[in-house]
A and B are shown apart, each in its own frame.
Chain A
Amino acid sequence: MKFTITIILLFFTLITFNVTKSQEKLENEVLSISVNGLVCDFCARSIEKLFSKKESVKSINVNLEQMLITISLKKGKSLNDDIITKVITDSGYDIREIRRDR
């Protein structure tokens, strides 16, 4: 009997955990920013440093092959296009497109 209860509790714990994770994923906004000029790893460090200073940024990924910057925002936080454009311009690049996904 104890074993069955333990199994049931574990089962519901796992379900609850997965549902929470899915909700987090749904609520976290992900920005995909295409930029021109993103050819050098050494120079692109400025993008990571400047975005990391923004309170709303959870994580950042730079893809030189696709010249794409992917930014995951914290739950409930956002970053408007003007701020994104300023950070990219301050880093020395030009924006091609900003895409937002949830």
Chain B
Amino acid sequence: MNKHFLSLFFLITLFFIKSAIASPISYPGGWTIMQMNDFNRHSVHFHLSPSVKYSIGYRGEYWRKKEWQFHGTQLNYLIKRFNTPKSQANLYLKSGAGLAVSDYKNLNNKIEPNIFSGISVDWEDRQYFVSYQNRVNYNSSIDTFFLQKARIGFAPYVGDYGDFHTWVMLQVESMTKTKNKIIYTPMLRMFKGDLLAEVGLTNYKDFMFNFIKRF
């Protein structure tokens, strides 16, 4: 199941990369695709931003430990942005609704409505970065949890526009109802132009890879 789902993710990702390159537009009207793989889950999220205030799109997830999927719509809303001469900070609300589909033991082939919501806050200047986000997930029996994620990072060198940028970060993640309560992930964030990639290794020796492309 896991392999089939991963294959589907990559096919979807490749399809959208291909189709979006043919129409390279951005904010407002810009597309973004995010493909993430970490200790707990594999996910893909592609969204359209009708304005600078919000974006809406499809979200698909596969939760590895409890073997369930989420397929639905996610809405990201910018509550407040703080622009200063030296930094930027953002406060977002991220919410979604869709279906949870389970493959797990006695929950096999179970399908339930699933909702989630959470806030995300970040601050960065040209050399330092801090972020925090949380998520409450609810469905009636497959998996209900509260997840929190925080990051701190710095840029070992400050590049200018168009350069290859590198950030060194530490991510700390906590999720209720899991055996491994706190997951530490030292990671590297790299980006150039419209492409961003993150690689890391958790304290449980699990690989993390994230990829974002903006159009």
A interface residues, Cβ below 8 angstroms from B: 35-46, 49-50, 61-65, 67, 89-94, 96
Contacts and interface: CB of A to CB of B under 8 A. Distances in A.
A91 to B, nearest CB: 6
A89 B52 contact: yes
B28 A90 contact: yes
B83 A50 contact: no
B108 interface: no
A62 to B, nearest CB: 4
A42 B83 contact: no
Contacts of A46: 26-27, 30, 214
Give the bracket for the number of chain B residues in contact with chain A.
20 to 34
Given A37-B84, A41-B163, A42-B191, A92 B27 contact: yes
A62 B88 contact: no
Secondary structure dominating the interface of A? mixed
A37 B52 contact: no
17 contacts: A39-B88, A41-B160, A41-B163, A41-B165, A41-B191, A42-B165, A42-B191, A45-B26, A49-B27, A49-B30, A50-B26, A61-B161, A63-B161, A64-B126, A64-B161, A90-B52, A92-B81
Nearest to A93: B83
B200 to A, nearest CB: 18
Given A62-B161, A64-B126, A65-B160, A45 B87 contact: no
A45 B193 contact: yes
B83 A94 contact: yes
Contact of B196 (A35, A42, A50, A92): A42
B159 interface: yes
B67 interface: no
B56 to A, nearest CB: 17
Nearest to A44: B161
A39 B124 contact: yes
Contacts of A44: 161
A65 B87 CA distance: 12
